[in-house]
Structure 1
């Protein structure tokens, strides 16, 4: 059996961080994921997918992501049900994220300073591993190598296909 989901989209609102009675962090957020086709009016539609992430990755998501942030989610689909206050059964389908990748620099929404320190990726880690730092990982570049004119000189011999 296989239950695997990989999504890339933007958060529709700030993540909601809560803690269980045992002190385990859990964050909920909704990801807007564009559909790969346009509707009859030529507009792109999106699906709004509820996601949940646990433990240290949940804290990282709440600290580093906000409404509009671009994120990649790797996880699984989970369905559950509960009885609401009116006694009706409510079914919920959501993505349980095993890892969340932050796909934009932390300051990309607020580029007021002229200094672009490059692309830092703030990974949320894997919920199953015991070693989760969640800190900043720099790629070692002091600036964006593609910021010149937006073009790259590549010969056909350099392409792998």
Structure 2
């Protein structure tokens, strides 16, 4: 049996990195995926303007080692990425002694499907070219 997850979506916030007491760096971010909302007959629902209505789900993505370093360095809010990894369930007791449960995706690979906004702006910015000022 194999535990494999593949998700493609939009990054919800700038990734955050923390270090454990043992020195391991962990980078986490949220990922939004969506699918069309369907009615009881299975037809795609539309809003008042005829646009498709979607259900959005949020996933907590956790990255370690080199994957985490790359994500921390290059991934930005709004960027489209594809995550390949595995589902991991966690259980802990909070400060009020209440047992809590959570689910996260441990990323083995994060593929960039688009550039972050800052990189898009760099590519769209006019290039400073000395030849532009030379008359013909």
TM-score bucket of the superposed structures, by smaller chain? 0.7 to 0.9
Q: Are 1:54 and 2:64 an aligned pair?
A: yes
Residue in 2 that maps onto 1:95: 105
CA deviations on 1:5-49 (whole Å, 9 max, x unpaired) are 0011111111010111222110111100111x2353441221111
For structure 1, the 5+ residue unaligned runs are: 116-161
Task: Identify the structure with the greater helix proportion.
Answer: 2
Q: Distance in 1 between matches of 2:27 and 2:113?
A: 18
- 1:78 Cα shift? 0.6
For structure 2, the 5+ residue unaligned runs are: 39-44, 128-136
Q: Distance in 2 between matches of 1:78 and 1:93?
A: 6
Residue in 1 that maps onto 2:8: 8
Q: Are 1:75 and 2:88 an aligned pair?
A: no
Provide the TM-score with structure 1 as the length reference: 0.65
Compare CA radii of gyration and give the structure with the larger one.
Answer: 2
Q: Distance in 2 between matches of 1:49 and 1:6?
A: 12
Task: Select the structure with the greater relative contact order (CA < 8 A; seq sep ≥ 6).
Answer: 2
- 1:102 Cα shift? 1.5
Count the aligned residue pairs: 114
4+ residue stretches of structure 1 with deviation over 4 A? none
Q: Distance in 1 between matches of 2:34 and 2:103?
A: 19
Provide the TM-score with structure 2 as the length reference: 0.76
Q: Distance in 1 between matches of 2:6 and 2:126?
A: 34
- 1:75 Cα shift? 0.2
